[in-house]
């Protein structure tokens, strides 16, 4: 992927605050799980794609297939491991999104990257790639072996306090979650969404004392 993909595109006004904040944010501000100093782990990337749909500004999410070995059935951003021909995280994020959702990458403008984050459970280093869906294309579960469904989730749903909660995983993990579009978004994806909504200036006050067992929210 060429450096031109990271040039400043013509963004809608509602995305400019996030684009500006992304230039200076640190990994410590996004997650308590930091990439090991030895640089270990498998490099990967996710595409955080913003568009404008019938319900206004939205973000693209997938629900992973129920029979995967890792993160089965879990909502997530499109993405996956870097491959030799990707030429970096941007290329990987766009390729994976195309493979998983049928997305046409030619209609996508990348406007930033967040610091690489660490997934201790799977040992992945994840680079979040921020993008604007300049020319939306049809999306669907293009790879049923990996993806169960594809969703354009309106930002109004994500910031609605009624749709926000904390969930407790059977392992003891407690973290933010979103009940949107028939999904319970939790884990890494929800944690990153929580930070992105704040960086974009979109988040609204909600009740973090609302904690529910994960199994009862699904």
Residue-wise pLDDT for 112-151, tens only, equals 999 999 998 888 999 999 999 999 999 999 998 889 999 9
In a domain, 13, yes or no: yes
Burial state string for 34-72 with b = 16 or more CB within 10 A and e = fewer than 16:
ebeeeeebebbbbbbbbbbeeeebbbbbbbbbeeeeebe
Residue 84 is encoded by which pair of tokens?
């030799």
In a domain, 181, yes or no: no
Q: Are 60 and 139 in contact (CB under 8 A)?
A: yes
In a domain, 101, yes or no: yes
Residue 180 is encoded by which pair of tokens?
């949107």
Q: What is the pLDDT of residue 66?
A: 61
- Run of H or E including 87: none
In a domain, 21, yes or no: yes
Q: Are 155 and 180 in contact (CB under 8 A)?
A: no
| Residue in 131, 125, 111, 104 with CA at minimum distance from that of residue 48 | 131
CATH number at residue 68: 3.90.79.10
Residue 14 CA, chain-centre distance (Å), reads: 18
Average pLDDT over residues 151-172: 96
Residue 212 CA, chain-centre distance (Å), reads: 22
| Residue in 117, 142, 137 with CA at minimum distance from that of residue 127 | 117
The model's pTM is 0.93
Residue 42: domain span: 3-154
First to last CA, the chain: 38
In a domain, 160, yes or no: no
Q: Are 103 and 78 in contact (CB under 8 A)?
A: yes
- Mean pLDDT computed over every residue of the chain: 91
Overall domain count for the chain: 1
In a domain, 210, yes or no: no
In a domain, 94, yes or no: yes
Which tops the pLDDT comparison, 152 or 120? 152
Q: What is the pLDDT of residue 68?
A: 55
In a domain, 99, yes or no: yes
The rounded distance, in Å, linking the Cα atoms of 57 and 153 is: 8
């Amino acid at each position: 992927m060429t450096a031109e993909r990271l040039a400043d595109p013509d963004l809608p006004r509602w995305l400019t605050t996030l684009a500006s904040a992304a230039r200076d944010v640190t990994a410590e501000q996004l997650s308590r799980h930091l990439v090991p100093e030895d640089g270990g782990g498998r490099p990967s990337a996710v595409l955080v794609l913003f568009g404008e749909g019938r319900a206004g500004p939205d973000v693209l999410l997938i629900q992973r297939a129920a029979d995967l070995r890792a993160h089965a059935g879990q909502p997530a951003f499109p993405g996956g491991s870097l491959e030799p021909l990707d030429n970096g995280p941007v290329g990987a994020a766009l390729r994976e999104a195309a493979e998983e959702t049928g997305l046409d990458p030619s209609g996508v403008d990348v406007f930033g990257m967040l610091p690489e984050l660490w997934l201790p459970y799977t040992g992945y280093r994840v680079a979040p790639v921020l993008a604007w869906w300049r020319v939306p294309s049809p999306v669907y579960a293009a790879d049923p072996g990996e993806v169960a469904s594809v969703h354009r989730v309106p930002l109004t749903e994500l910031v609605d306090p009624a749709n926000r909660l904390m969930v407790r995983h059977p392992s003891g993990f407690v973290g933010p979650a979103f009940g949107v579009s028939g999904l319970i978004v939790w884990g890494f994806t929800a944690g990153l969404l929580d930070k992105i909504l704040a960086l974009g200036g979109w988040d609204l006050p909600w009740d973090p004392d609302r904690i529910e067992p994960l199994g009862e929210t699904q």
